[in-house]
Amino acid sequence: MSDAAGESDRKVKRLVAILITAVALTGLFYNLPEATLGAIVIHAVWHNINYRRISRYLGITNLDFVTSLIAAIGVLALGALEGLLIASFLGLMVLLLGTKKRNTSALGKIPGSDIFRSLENYPEGETYPGLLILRFDGTLFFANAPDFIIAAREAYRKMTPPPRVVIIDGESINEIDATAVFTLKELSDEMARSGVELWFAAVKTRVRDVMVRANLEEAIRPEHFYASIQDGVDDFLKHHA
């Protein structure tokens, strides 16, 4: 019998034993002291904690390690339900923090190609006077939209010479909510007062649908949504170069 098959067989036997105990032997535990019952529960749960997996998290990300450790301690110290609630809350907080902390990068064109990459990683990337290309990595929603706006505002204000057009690469934006769209509209209006146009490229269909329903096209004309960054660059060079 293989190790996997043997482990599966042992799990089935344990499950049968638990069912028999729950149905036929529960009464025998009624008068046991709570400390004894607690020791039984801790012993049962202790073997279900995967210490090897928890230790592996430490070598990958400290955040995952701390989250899993707190969840395990919560189950042992407070009980299964309370521990699971703590683990769920921590998981949601980690998810929220992870989606909030996203990078905004200025892009340049890799020479000899139609590929645009972060200028931080590829400082040799080709740029165009008067054109700023920005990429936001991840879902754009109410929690991180203000951070993106701040980053975009700083980028176009620091650019020399000042940009006439800012293109936002939407390829990495998988989802967007109404608050983020309204924030983009406010950014577009702010930039327009400074004589700067806001364009979009490679926006996913479901993201564009939300933008349309939120009337973003009142601020950004439909013709300024491009299939690719290169299409937007070509249009910029045609009308603004």
Q: Domain spans of the chain?
A: 3-100, 104-240
- Better pLDDT: 10 or 208: 208
Q: In this structure, which amino acid lies at residue 132?
A: L
Model confidence pLDDT, tens digit, residues 131-180: 999 999 988 998 899 999 999 999 998 898 899 999 999 999 999 999 99
Q: In this structure, which amino acid lies at residue 61?
A: T
Domain 104-240 homologous superfamily, CATH: STAS domain (3.30.750.24)
Cβ neighbourhood burial of 206 (10 Å; 0-12, 13-18, 19+): exposed
Give yes or no for a cis peptide into 123 (omega within 30° of 0).
Answer: no
For the CA atoms of 122, 127, 131, 137, the dihedral, rounded to the nearest 10 degrees, stands at -10
Task: Report d(CA 227, CA 31) in Å as an integer.
Answer: 73
Task: Report d(CA 192, CA 164) in Å as an integer.
Answer: 10
Model confidence pLDDT, tens digit, residues 86-101: 777 877 777 777 677 7
